[in-house]
Amino acid sequence: MSRILITGAAGGVGTLLRPRLARPDRTLRLLDIAELEPREGEEVLRASVTDLDAMTKACADVDAVVHLGGISVEAAWADILDVNIHGTRTVFEAARRAGVPRVVFASSNHAVGFHTPDEYPLGADTPPLPDTYYGVSKVAGEALGALYHHRYGLDVICIRILTCFPTPPNPRALSTWLSPDDCARLLEACLAAPSPGYRIVHGVSRNTRGGWVTLDEAAALGYDPQDDAEVHAAAVLAEHGDPGPDDPVFAHLGGPFTFPEFDVDR
């Protein structure tokens, strides 16, 4: 019997993963600031990732933490600093104090969002080039993961997730979609890999219009994506129109997050 703690379990990715990570031999301990109703095989905790005491208790008797909690878009610096950066440090520190051997951290393409198509496919060793304060928080989370691996020996896998939604939400996502099922496949690979050490991998499906980032690092963990956004292409383009290859949304990996209107301090 294993126990996995999922932070931010009521959020978008958490909601998609919850039924997909359920196993008869596994307890999912779901943590969020929002209320959750436990189902069979689940435990529910209502707490903030910024609360070290609560997080340390939440990490008791846990085999791995899947850290999804935090703000998932651009926001004011004070909020990003508290919830995403301080909160992520709190999660790693709580895991260390409670003796949790493995943390899987939901990073984002926005950690490297200002990289450009002439550099594609971006490897997981691509240097940080965040496109927002949100992206900065993901770079900080990856750095904290490296610290907690190298100083304290935790296994830490940072997944630079591209676009994880039930279906591709826009034309850019025809290249960047991570299907919910592939997301669960990647998480299972991250949880099962023997002694992964510290790694950064990309979270994306095997999209026909992909090739923006490498899949090799995730494949080395055992990830074998089965889905392709192309099956949704006709519907997505009918709804949103075809922006064409010269549209600014394709000028950087981070797409709209690089646009001036994402500057919250303007």
Catalytic residues: 134
- What distance in Å separates the CA atoms of residue 106 and residue 257, rounded to the nearest whole number? 17
Tell the smallest beta-carbon distance from residue 173 to ligand 15L (Å). Answer: 6
Query: What separation in angstroms does the CA of 18 have from each of 12, 21, 105, 200, 230?
Result: 10, 6, 16, 23, 25
Judged by DSSP in three states, 120 sits in coil
Residue 62 sits at φ, ψ, to 5 deg, of: -110, 140
Tell the smallest beta-carbon distance from residue 252 to ligand 15L (Å). Answer: 11
Would you say 88 or 176 has its CB closer to ligand 15L? 176
Would you say 100 or 162 has its CB closer to ligand 15L? 162
- Binding-site ranges for ligand 15L (CB under 6 A): 72-73, 108-110, 162-163, 176
Tell the smallest beta-carbon distance from residue 103 to ligand 15L (Å). Answer: 18
- What distance in Å separates the CA atoms of residue 83 and residue 137, rounded to the nearest whole number? 9
Query: What separation in angstroms does the CA of 247 have from each of 148, 244, 255?
Result: 40, 6, 10
Tell the smallest beta-carbon distance from residue 4 to ligand 15L (Å). Answer: 21
- CA-based nearest residue to 26, from 218, 180, 188, 182: 188
Tell the smallest beta-carbon distance from residue 113 to ligand 15L (Å). Answer: 8
Query: Token pair for residue 97?
Result: 């104090």
Would you say 90 or 109 has its CB closer to ligand 15L? 109
Handedness of CA 224, 113, 20, 100 (dihedral sign): positive
Would you say 73 or 76 has its CB closer to ligand 15L? 73
Would you say 73 or 219 has its CB closer to ligand 15L? 73
- List residues bridging with 38 in a β-sheet: none
